[in-house]
Amino acid sequence: MTARLLAARPAVEKIKIDLALRCESLKQKGVTPSMSVILVGENPASLSYIRNKRKICEEVGGKFALHQLPVDISTEAFLAEVKKLNIDKTVHGIIIQLPVPNQLKHLNIADLVIAEKDIDGFHGENTKKLYEGTTDMKLLLPCTPKGIIALLKYYDVPIAGQDVVVIGRSLIVGKPVSMLLSNMHATVTIAHSKTKDLKSYTRKADIVIAAVGIPNFLKASHFDPATKTTVIDVGINSVDGKLCGDVDLKDCENVVDSISPVPGGVGPMTVVSLIENMITACEAQLKGKV
Q: Is 120 a catalytic residue?
A: yes
Shortest distance, CB of residue 278 to ligand GUN, whole angstroms?
A: 13
The answer to whether 172 contacts ligand GUN (rule: CB under 6 A) is yes
Instruction: Rule CB under 6 A: say whether 65 interacts with ligand GUN.
Output: no
- Give the residue, chosen from 120, 206, 233, 283, that forms a contact with ligand GUN under the rule CB under 6 A: 120
Of 53, 117, 146, 175, which is the active-site residue?
Answer: 53
DSSP string of 30-41, one letter each residue: T---EEEEEEES
Q: How far is CA 130 from CA 123, 137, 180, in A?
A: 11, 11, 6
Q: Is 286 among the residues that bind ligand GUN (CB under 6 A)?
A: no
Cis status of the peptide bond prior to 261, with omega within 30 of 0: no
Tell me if 177 sits within 8 A of 147, measured CB to CB: no
Residue nearest to ligand GUN (CB): 98
Cα–Cα distance for residue pair 35/108, rounded to 1 Å: 21
Residue 95 lies near ligand GUN (rule: CB under 6 A): yes
Q: Report d(CA 43, CA 231) in Å as an integer.
A: 30
Residue 233 near residue 249 (C-beta atoms within 8 A):
yes
Interface stretch with ligand GUN, choices 59-67, 94-102, 221-229, 243-251 (CB under 6 A): 94-102
From 8, 60, 94, 96, residue interacting with ligand GUN (rule: CB under 6 A)? 96
From 117, 118, 120, 146, the catalytic residue: 120
Is 160:184 a contact under the CB 8 Å cutoff?
A: yes
Site map 31..60 versus ligand GUN, x via CB under 6 A:
------------------------------
Instruction: Please identify, using beta-carbon distances, which residue of 31 and 167 lies nearer to ligand GUN.
Output: 167
Q: Which stretch binds ligand GUN (CB under 6 A): 72-80, 92-100, 210-218, 254-262?
A: 92-100
CA distance 264 to 20: 21
The sheet that has 34-40: what strands, in order across it? 63-69, 34-40, 93-96
Residue choice 3, 143, 211, 266 for contact with ligand GUN (CB under 6 A): 143
**Distance, C-alpha 118 to centroid of its chain:** 13
Interface with ligand GUN (CB under 6 A): 95-98, 120, 143, 172
Active site residues: 53, 97, 120
